[in-house]
Amino acid sequence: MWLLVAWVGNPNGGFIAMSNTNVGVAIDGPMAVITLSTETGINVLSSAVLEQLRDGLDQVRQATGVRSLVVRAAGKVFVAGADIKEMADFSPAQARVYGENGQAVFHELEQMPCFTVAAINGAAMGGGLELALACDFRIAVKTAKLGLPETSLGLTPGWGGIGRLQRLIGPSRAKRLFFSALPVSAEDGLAIGLVDEIVNSAEDLSARVPAFCKSFRRGGPEAIALAKRAFADGDDVSAFVECFGGDESKEGLAAFVAKRPALWME
């Protein structure tokens, strides 16, 4: 069971009236959890929610000892997408601001030094799937639907989903999702590499995600951060060299020689 201990953007706690969707942050030792929730059970990503999400990511980044970040939702869906009502009367200039804000927030999520997991409890559509794609891993309930329906609205994805999806599942499969605007099931998503694991229910998802995060405890947190950077910039050598500038590699090598677990594994 997740315990929400703070609401982003409201130092006194409670709900934020400026948006129907709220972003909560909980940090429990090495695991941080960002939860999107709304009274209707259908989360959307308005400009206000993107700012809350940015604040939440900053809070997690500044915390000490966080090794994993879970992005989850409470309600019927993961995230239904961008805020259609907000976009309805956008000028091109307003669309650029909205697109660039979303790009920046999702880039920050993608660049988090800890590894990140999207726990997809229901539909992840449009901006919701783009949010999940910015995470390192995606675990979904088998009834979840995932898709990018923007072309059915005369739009295109604007928050990095085009590039991330084609890198993940290949250009042809990505184009099929973009051009058709049709969702895929979680099971089909697993088959094409869009989803990493599927579970039977939301209850199973709540149990599986912490166990999944614990499966990475062998990796040194600084080494994981550097490996993530190397994935992004392709500079393996610089990441390797930087490992030798800190204490983590000394501990890891000493533990290997002594045939004991490294301290971060305990």
Domain CATH number, residue 256: 1.10.12
Domain that holds residue 229: 221-265
**Torsion angle of alpha carbons 249, 251, 256, 260, nearest 10°?**
-150
Task: Give the residue from 214, 233, 254 where a domain finishes.
Answer: 214
Does one domain contain both 139 and 234? no
Residue-wise pLDDT for 103-121, tens only, equals 999 999 999 999 999 999 9
Same-domain pairing of 231 and 199: no
Q: Tell me, what's the pLDDT at 12? A: 31
Average pLDDT, 10 consecutive residues per value, the chain (266 residues): 35 38 93 93 92 96 95 91 90 95 96 96 95 98 96 94 96 95 96 97 95 93 95 94 94 95 88
What would the two tokens of residue 130 be? 């783009």
CATH number of 123's domain: 3.90.226.10
**188 and 251 together in one domain:** no
Are 30 and 128 found together in one domain?
Answer: yes
Give the catalytic positions in this structure: 130, 150
Q: Looking at the chain, how many residues does it have?
A: 266
Q: What's the pLDDT at 16?
A: 31
Are 248 and 122 within one domain? no
Domain assignment present for 1? no
State how many domains the chain has.
2
Strand partners, 201: none
- Which phi and psi angles does 216 have, rounded to 5°? -100, 15
Same domain, 193 and 261: no
Q: Quick check: 102 and 134 in contact, CB under 8 A?
A: no
State the Cα–Cα distance between residues 246 and 248, nearest whole angstrom.
6
pLDDT of residue 149: 94
pLDDT at 10: 35
Q: Which of 186, 187, 157 is nearest to 174 (CA)?
A: 157
Average of per-residue pLDDT values in the chain: 90
pLDDT for the residue numbered 20: 81
Helix 236-243 crosses helix 221-233 at what angle (to 10 degrees)?
Answer: 160
Question: What element of type H or E holds 197?
Answer: strand 197-199
